[in-house]
Structure 1
Amino acid sequence: MFGILFDEDDDPAPDPAAETTWYGRYIADIARHTRAPHAHRLRWVAATSRPASLAAKAAERQDGRAAERVLRRLRETTFVLGTPADTAQRVLDALAGLDGVDRGRLGAEMDDPEVVAAVRRDHAEARDPIPEAHAFRAPGPHGIGVKETDDGVRYALPTLVFSGPGGRVAAPGWRSVPEYLAALRTVAPRQLWEAAPVGPEEALAAYRSLTGPDLSLLTGGTTPPPAAVRGDTAGGPLWLHPCRYVDFRRTASAICR
C-alpha cells in the first residue's frame, strides 16, 4: 500500500535547501536506529511520491518479482543515491536496465485508470487508520501508530497490519523481528512462522542488493556473496549483484536473469 507521504498539491518549501538539509538529518537519524544504508548527501526532498507509487503499483501487473525489484530500486533513489525519483521521467530513468522488468510496459501503464484508482485507494486507506493503530504505544522513535496531518491523521509509515483467526495487530513504524513474529503468532497461533535461512548467493539473486541487516535477517550471517560488488553509503555497505552494479552506476546496461 502506498501512503503518498509527499503529494503533488503540497505547498512548496519556502527554503528548499534548508528543508533538504533537515530531511537528510532526519533520514540519518532513522538509519542509526534501523542500521539501514543512507545517502552521503540528499540532493533534494521529493516533490511528490505519487509517480514512484504509480510505477510500483503498475509493476505489480507484471509479477511479484518485478514489483519487488521496482519498489526496491525506487527506494534506493532516495536512501542510497540521494536523488529521489519524484517525476515520471526520473522514475523511468531509475529503472533503466533493471532486469526482470518490462520498463516500456510499466511506463505505458503508470497512467492507466485502474492503476491511478488503486493508488488513490491506497492514499485513502493510509489516512483511515484502524483502531489498533490509534491505540499503539511503544518506546523508541516509532512509538505511536498514527501521525497528524493537515486534515486528519494517517498511519505511521511504514505500518504492517496482521489479521487472522486470532484477531488483528498493528505494528507501526520500524519494529524488531521478534515483535513481528509475536504479531504473527497472535493472529495465527497454529502456524509456524520461523523461516529457514537462505544462502547469501540466493538472497542476492532474489533482491539484487543486500544491506547488512538484510544479510543478517535472510542468511543468519554477515558474510556477503563472493560475487557481490560493494557500494559504500553513509550508513554502511550495500552489496550489489554484478548485473545490478553495471546499470546501478549507469556506466552501461546489462541483461541478467
Structure 2
Amino acid sequence: MTADAREPLVTVVEFTDPACPWAWGSQPVFRLLGRTLGERARWRTVFAVLFDEDEDPAPDPDAEARWYEGFIREVTVHTHAPYARRLHWLTRSSWPASRAAKAAEAQGSEVARRVLRRLRESTFVHGEPADTPEGIRAAVHGVPGLDEERLLRDTAAPASRDAVRADWSEARRPRPEVLDLQGPGPHPGRAKETGGHRRYALPTLLFDGPGGRVCVPGWRPLETYLEAARTAAGQSRALDPVREPAAVALERWRSLTGPELDLLCGESTPPPGAVRVDTGHGPLWRHPGEASRAPA
C-alpha cells in the first residue's frame, strides 16, 4: 500500500533530542517511514531534553566527552550510523538546539526538518554540538529556505523556551506500558529515570489514528513501525516502503548517510555529484548545493 491522502490520517509523535545517538541512528528508518506514510501522516516532534540545563557541570569535561564518545560508538555497533572522529565536547545543554529546532517550525516543516538535521550533524558528523547561539548559527548556515536571522531571534524569544518546556513536560508523562518495559535488543525503550521524573526513552514514536494508539519505544526495525502505523490507521493491508532513486533522495534530504542510502534507496553508490564527508565511521554524502554552504 502506498501513500494516499484520501486514507485516514495518522498522527505520529516523535520524542527525540538532537544529541541522542539512538535517535540519530534511527533517522534512516524514520525518513523512510515518513516517506511511506506521506500525506496520510501528521508528524510532530517533541524535544525531550536529554541534557537539562540545571544539571551540575562535569568536574572533568574532557573525560565526560570521552565517555559519551565511547557510548556513541557502542550505539553505532547496532545502528551503523556515522560518528565524528572526535567529540570535542559533550553538549552543555539540550535546550539551545531544541529551542532552535522548535523555532524553525515557524518557517515550515521542510525548513524545520533540515535545521534539525544540521543540528544532529553538529554532534555526530562534526563533533561540535550546537549548544550556543554562535554554534547554532554555524550549524544552520546556508540551509535552503531558512531565514537565519529570524531563526536566531525566534530561538532567543521566550516563546521558544515555553514551547520546549511544554515538550519537556510531555516527554515526562510516559504511557504505562513503557514504565516497566522489559524487551529484547540493545535498547528496548523502557522509560528513563531522570531528575525525579520518568520520561520516554529516546527515540519513542506514538501513533494515533482510527485504529487506536500504538507506542513504539527504543531501537526497532522498520517493520515494527510500519505495523504500528497500519494498526493505528485501522488498515488491514500491509504498508509497503516507498523507496526512491539515490539522486531523488539526495535532492529531497540534502544529506545521506551510508545506512540511509541503503535503506531509502536500496543502493550503495551515491549519485553523481554527491560530495563525500568523511567521519570516524563511514561517509556522509551531501548534495553539492548543500556542501557549498554547510559546515566543512
TM-score interval, smaller chain? over 0.9
SS of alignment partner, residue 247 of structure 1: coil
- 1:249, distance to aligned residue in structure 2 (A): 4.0
**Matched residues, percent identical?**
51
Tell me which amino acid in the other structure corresponds to 1:69.
R
* CA 158–32 in structure 1, closer or farther in 2 if over 3 Å, else same: same
Task: Determine if the alignment matches structure 1 residue 240 to structure 2 residue 286.
Answer: yes
Answer whether contact 2:93 2:131 (CA < 8 A) is retained.
yes
Comparing 91-100 with 201-210, which one deviates more in the overlay? 91-100
Comparing 70-79 with 186-195, which one deviates more in the overlay? 186-195
SS of alignment partner, residue 52 of structure 1: helix
Task: Determine if the alignment matches structure 1 residue 97 to structure 2 residue 158.
Answer: no
- 1:135, distance to aligned residue in structure 2 (A): 4.9
Task: Determine if the alignment matches structure 1 residue 107 to structure 2 residue 166.
Answer: no
Q: 1:4 aligns with which of 40, 49, 67?
A: 49
Distance 2:292 2:80 in 1: 25
- 1:166, distance to aligned residue in structure 2 (A): 2.2
Tell me which amino acid in the other structure corresponds to 1:176.
P
Task: Determine if the alignment matches structure 1 residue 39 to structure 2 residue 84.
Answer: yes
Answer whether contact 1:7 1:49 (CA < 8 A) is retained.
yes
Tell me which amino acid in the other structure corresponds to 1:81.
H
Bigger relative contact order, structure 1 or 2, given CA contacts below 8 A and separation 6+? Answer: 2
Answer whether contact 1:129 1:154 (CA < 8 A) is retained.
yes
Which residue in the other structure is 2:175 paired with? 130
Q: 1:203 aligns with which of 249, 260, 273?
A: 249
Task: Determine if the alignment matches structure 1 residue 82 to structure 2 residue 127.
Answer: yes
Which residue in the other structure is 2:186 paired with? 141
Q: Under a length normalisation based on structure 1, what TM-score does the superposition of the two structures give?
A: 0.92
Q: 2:105 aligns with which of 60, 76, 87?
A: 60
**Which aligned segments of 4 or more residues in structure 1 are displaced greater than 6 angstroms?**
none
- 1:121, distance to aligned residue in structure 2 (A): 0.5
Which residue in the other structure is 2:270 paired with? 224
Distance 2:178 2:207 in 1: 11
Q: Tell me the number of residue pairs that the alignment of Structure 1 and Structure 2 aligns.
A: 250
Map Cα deviations across residues 57-112 of structure 1 (whole Å, 9 max, x no partner): 11111111100100000000001100001112211121112222111111111133
Which residue in the other structure is 1:171 paired with? 216
SS of alignment partner, residue 107 of structure 2: coil
Distance 2:262 2:234 in 1: 25
Map Cα deviations across residues 150-186 of structure 1 (whole Å, 9 max, x no partner): 3121110111111222222211122110111121122
Map Cα deviations across residues 204-254 of structure 1 (whole Å, 9 max, x no partner): 11111001111122212222111101111122111111122122245xxxx
* CA 149–249 in structure 1, closer or farther in 2 if over 3 Å, else same: closer
User: What is the root-mean-square deviation of aligned Cα atoms in Å?
Assistant: 1.5
Answer whether contact 2:189 2:204 (CA < 8 A) is retained.
no
Distance 1:249 1:134 in 2: 40
Distance 2:182 2:214 in 1: 12
Q: Any gaps of 5 or more consecutive residues in structure 2?
A: 1-45
Answer whether contact 1:168 1:187 (CA < 8 A) is retained.
yes
